[in-house]
C-alpha cells in the first residue's frame, strides 16, 4: 500500500478483477472439531451435528483469534484489553491478510492509535462501541477519506461523516479504513471494481459476493469485528452468506442514508456485517433513529433482543421454488436449515414464492434501474471510459424508461405488496436460502451477468416489499463452502429477526467467519421491556402460532416469555362462532394454573389492540405466578354460564391440540 501526502494509504488498482490471484487464504485448522466438540455435544439431536465441518488442513503457527464486538467491549470497559492493543492487532491482521483488494484506502495507524488514546478520557460505560475497530464501505462518507464508490474518477473527499458513521464515532467506534465494493454498488459477485476482487475468506476459487465485498471479507477474516455495507438488492446479505458471517439488512429508513452515494435512493439501506447477530444488533442499536436530513428516514421503535416464542410459524419456499441451479450441496444445506428450525419447535409452512419472484423482476426490468441512472447517469455520460463496462451496461438503459413505464410499475408493486402483506400475516417469518448456490470466479469470464443474477434470486424483492432481512450462517461443508439462510419479516420487526437469527446461529455451532474459533454462547435476554412498551398477557388465539397472533406482530408486538397464572383462574371454551377461550378469576386456590404468553407492545399499538377486543372479552389486570400483575385477557362471568370448563388442560394450546 502506498502512502499519500494526506497520510491515507491507498491500495493500488488491480486490472485482474476476475481471477483475484494471490496467495492462499489461511487454512482452517483441523482443531475446529475439537474446539466445537463440547459445544456440539448438546446438539446431537440437531441435523447440524451430522453435517461435515471444516476439513483437516495445514494451518499457521499463530491461529487467528476471533474478537467479537461483545468480547472486545467487555475487555475495553474492564481495562483487561487496551484499546491501543486492539488497534495494533487490527492493523497487523490487515497486513497479514495479504489481499490488497479488501480495502481501497486505509487510515494512518498512528492517527487511529492517537484516537484510541484519546478515548481514555471518556467514560467507557457511556460508549456502547468503546474502542471497536470498524471498516466502512467506500460508498459511505468518512470525513477526510476519499469516497470513490470504486470509481477513481468519481472520487471526492467529504468534510463530514455520513450520519451512520457519525453515530458510530459518537458511540466510541474507531474507523480503520474504506473497503472495496462493486462500482457504484451495482452487482452481487464482488468482481466489478478497478481495485480488484477481494478473495472469498473461505475458498479462493469462489467469489466473495457483492457489492459490499471488502466489508464482508474484512469481518470474515477477523481484521475487524464490524463493518458497514449497503444493501439495495442483496449487497449485504449475499457476501455475508458466502463468507460465513452475519449480514443485517435493516428496515428501510431505520438507518439514515445521509452521506451515502445513492444506488436506488428509495430502496437503499446501510447494512451491517458482523461475526455474530448480537454484534450486528449492537451496531444497529447505535445507528438506528430518525434523521431529519434524510427524506427517506422513518421513525420506528427498534426494541431489544428477546427470547423466541414457542410454536413459531416459519414459512419456507415450497419445493418447486427452492432454486439451487442443480447444486446438490446447496439443496441439502437448505433442507438441513429447515430441520434445524423445526428442532427449535417451529411449525414449518411451505408457501408459493411466485408473487415475490414476480416482484423481483421489477427491480432490474422495471423503472427502478432509472434510479441508478438518476444517481450516477450524468457522471457516466461524461466519463464513459472510467466506468466498468458491465456496470455501464446495467445503468445506462435507465434513461430509456418513461413516466408511463414508471407508473405502471408502481401499480404492479402496490398489488404485489398487498399480496405479500396477506402472505406474511400467516406466519412469523419467511426463511429462504441467502443465495441459490455459490459462484466460482472463473464462471464470470464466460458470463459476467448470469451468475450475478442468480445470486439475487432470494434478495431482489426484499426492499421493494419493505421487508427487514437478516442473513445468518447455518452450514459449513468439508470443502469449506458456506451456506446460510435469510430471515425476512415486515418492516419494523428487526429485533425479532435478530433474536431468532441469534438462536439459529447458536444452534448451528459453526466457527466464526473463516476463523478457527467457536462461537460465543448465546443466551436470549429475559424480559427486556423497552421504554414506551406495555406488556399484555394473552391466553387464546393470540398465542404464538395461533390464528390471531399476527394481530400482535402487525402492531410491532414482541414475545417476552411464557408464564402461568396461579390456581386462581378457570378457562372456558366459549360458545362463539370462532373458537376462543375465556379466562375467569375465581376464589383463590379454587381454580387451575393456566398457561399464558407475555407480549410487549408499543403504547400506540397497545391502545389500538385493546380498542379492537370484542365482548365478552376485555382487558383487565391479570395475576401471574409469583404475584406479578399485568394487563391481560379476561372474560365476563355471564359469558361462561353455559360454556365448557377446560381448565384441566392447563391452557388453550393444549386444549386445541386435544381436538
Q: Which residues are catalytically annotated?
A: 137, 211, 235
Q: What is the CA 323 to chain-centroid distance, rounded?
A: 21
Pull the grid cell for residue 576.
362463539
Cis peptide before 118 (omega within 30 of 0): no
Instruction: Please name which of 379, 139, 105, 104 lies closest in space to residue 260, comparing C-alpha atoms.
Output: 139
Coil/strand/helix, residue 349:
strand
What is the C-alpha separation between 137 and 158, in angstroms, rounded? 14
Could you please report the per-residue DSSP string of 334-362?
HHHHHHHHHTTTPEEEEE--HHHHHHHHH
Instruction: Please name which of 542, 655, 510, 647 lies closest in space to residue 585, comparing C-alpha atoms.
Output: 647
Coil/strand/helix, residue 555:
coil
Q: At which residue does the C-alpha cell 467491549 appear? A: 73
Cα torsion through 357, 362, 413, 402, rounded to 10? -160
CB atoms within 10 A of CB 625: 14
What is the C-alpha separation between 111 and 105, in angstroms, rounded? 14
CB atoms within 10 A of CB 220: 28
Pull the grid cell for residue 137.
464501505
Q: What is the CA 37 to chain-centroid distance, rounded?
A: 27
What is the C-alpha separation between 119 and 113, in angstroms, rounded? 10
Q: What is the 3-state secondary structure (H, E, C) of 390-413?
A: HHHHHHHHHHHCCHHHHHHHHHHH
| Biggest distance spanned by C-alpha atoms of the chain | 87
Q: What is the C-alpha end-to-end distance of the chain, expressed in Å? A: 70
What is the C-alpha separation between 545 and 312, in angstroms, rounded? 5
Beta strand 482-490 with 581-585 is unpaired
Whether the CB-CB separation of 275 and 218 falls below 8 Å is answered with no
Q: What is the CA 101 to chain-centroid distance, rounded?
A: 25
Amino acid at each position: 500500500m502506498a502512502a499519500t501526502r494526506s497520510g491515507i494509504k491507498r491500495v493500488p488498482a488491480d486490472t485482474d478483477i476476475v481471477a483475484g490471484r494471490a496467495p492462499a487464504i489461511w487454512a482452517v485448522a483441523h482443531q475446529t472439531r475439537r474446539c466445537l466438540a463440547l459445544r456440539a455435544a448438546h446438539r446431537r439431536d440437531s441435523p447440524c451435528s451430522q453435517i461435515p465441518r471444516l476439513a483437516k488442513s495445514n494451518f499457521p503457527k499463530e491461529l487467528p483469534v476471533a474478537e467479537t464486538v461483545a468480547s472486545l467491549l467487555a475487555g475495553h470497559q474492564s481495562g483487561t484489553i487496551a484499546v491501543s492493543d486492539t488497534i495494533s492487532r487490527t492493523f497487523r491482521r490487515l497486513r497479514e491478510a495479504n489481499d490488497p483488494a479488501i480495502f481501497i484506502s486505509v487510515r494512518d495507524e498512528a492517527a487511529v492509535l492517537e484516537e484510541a488514546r484519546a478515548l481514555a478520557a471518556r467514560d467507557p460505560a457511556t460508549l456502547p462501541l468503546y474502542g471497536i475497530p470498524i471498516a466502512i464501505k467506500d460508498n459511505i462518507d468518512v470525513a477526510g477519506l476519499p469516497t470513490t464508490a470504486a470509481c477513481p474518477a468519481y472520487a471526492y473527499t467529504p468534510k463530514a461523516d455520513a450520519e451512520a458513521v457519525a453515530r458510530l464515532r459518537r458511540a466510541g467506534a474507531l474507523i480503520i479504513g474504506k473497503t472495496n465494493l462493486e462500482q457504484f454498488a451495482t452487482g452481487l459477485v464482488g468482481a466489478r471494481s478497478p481495485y480488484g476482487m477481494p478473495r472469498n475468506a473461505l475458498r479462493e476459487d469462489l467469489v466473495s459476493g457483492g457489492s459490499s465485498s471488502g466489508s464482508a471479507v474484512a469481518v470474515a477474516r477477523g481484521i475487524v469485528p464490524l463493518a458497514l455495507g449497503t444493501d439495495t438488492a442483496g449487497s449485504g446479505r449475499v457476501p455475508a452468506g458466502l463468507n460465513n458471517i452475519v449480514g443485517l439488512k435493516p428496515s428501510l429508513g431505520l438507518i439514515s442514508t445521509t452521506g451515502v452515494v445513492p444506488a436506488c435512493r428509495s430502496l437503499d439501506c446501510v447494512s451491517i456485517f458482523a461475526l455474530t447477530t448480537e454484534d450486528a444488533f449492537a451496531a444497529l442499536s447505535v445507528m438506528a433513529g430518525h434523521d431529519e436530513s434524510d427524506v427517506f428516514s422513518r421513525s420506528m421503535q427498534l426494541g431489544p433482543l428477546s427470547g423466541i416464542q414457542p410454536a413459531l410459524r416459519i414459512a419456507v419456499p415450497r419445493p418447486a421454488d427452492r432454486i439451487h441451479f442443480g447444486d446438490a450441496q446447496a439443496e441439502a444445506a437448505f433442507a438441513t436449515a429447515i430441520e434445524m428450525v423445526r428442532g427449535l419447535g417451529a411449525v414449518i409452512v411451505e408457501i408459493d414464492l411466485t408473487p415475490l419472484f414476480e416482484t423481483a423482476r421489477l427491480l432490474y426490468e422495471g423503472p427502478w434501474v432509472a434510479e441508478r441512472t438518476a444517481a450516477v447517469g450524468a457522471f457516466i455520460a461524461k466519463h464513459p471510459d472510467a466506468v466498468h463496462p458491465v456496470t455501464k451496461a446495467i445503468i445506462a438503459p435507465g434513461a430509456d424508461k418513461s413516466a408511463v413505464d414508471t407508473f405502471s410499475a408502481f401499480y404492479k408493486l402496490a398489488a404485489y405488496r398487498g399480496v405479500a402483506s396477506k402472505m406474511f400475516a400467516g406466519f412469523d417469518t419467511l426463511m429462504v436460502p441467502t443465495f441459490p448456490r455459490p459462484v466460482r470466479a472463473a464462471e464470470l469470464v464466460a458470463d459476467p451477468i448470469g451468475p450475478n443474477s442468480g445470486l439475487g434470486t432470494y434478495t431482489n424483492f426484499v426492499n421493494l416489499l419493505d421487508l427487514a432481512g437478516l442473513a445468518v450462517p447455518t452450514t459449513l461443508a468439508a470443502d469449506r463452502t458456506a451456506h446460510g439462510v435469510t430471515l425476512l419479516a415486515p418492516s419494523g420487526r428487526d429485533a425479532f429477526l435478530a433474536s431468532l437469527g441469534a438462536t439459529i446461529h447458536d444452534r448451528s455451532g459453526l466457527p466464526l467467519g473463516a476463523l478457527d474459533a467457536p462461537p460465543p454462547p448465546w443466551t436470549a435476554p429475559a424480559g427486556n421491556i423497552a421504554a414506551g412498551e406495555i406488556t399484555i398477557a394473552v391466553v387464546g388465539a393470540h398465542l404464538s402460532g395461533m390464528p390471531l397472533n399476527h394481530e400482535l406482530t402487525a402492531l410491532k408486538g414482541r414475545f417476552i416469555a411464557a408464564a402461568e397464572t396461579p390456581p386462581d383462574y378457570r378457562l372456558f371454551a366459549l360458545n362463539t362462532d370462532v373458537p376462543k377461550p375465556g379466562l375467569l378469576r375465581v376464589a383463590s386456590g379454587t381454580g387451575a394454573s393456566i398457561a399464558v404468553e407475555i407480549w410487549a407492545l408499543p403504547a400506540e399499538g397497545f391502545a389500538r389492540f385493546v380498542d379492537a377486543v370484542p365482548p365478552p372479552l376485555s382487558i383487565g389486570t391479570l395475576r401471574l405466578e409469583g404475584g406479578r400483575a399485568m394487563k391481560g385477557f379476561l372474560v365476563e362471568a355471564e359469558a361462561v354460564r353455559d360454556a365448557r370448563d377446560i381448565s384441566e388442560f392447563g391452557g388453550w394450546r393444549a386444549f386445541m391440540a386435544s381436538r
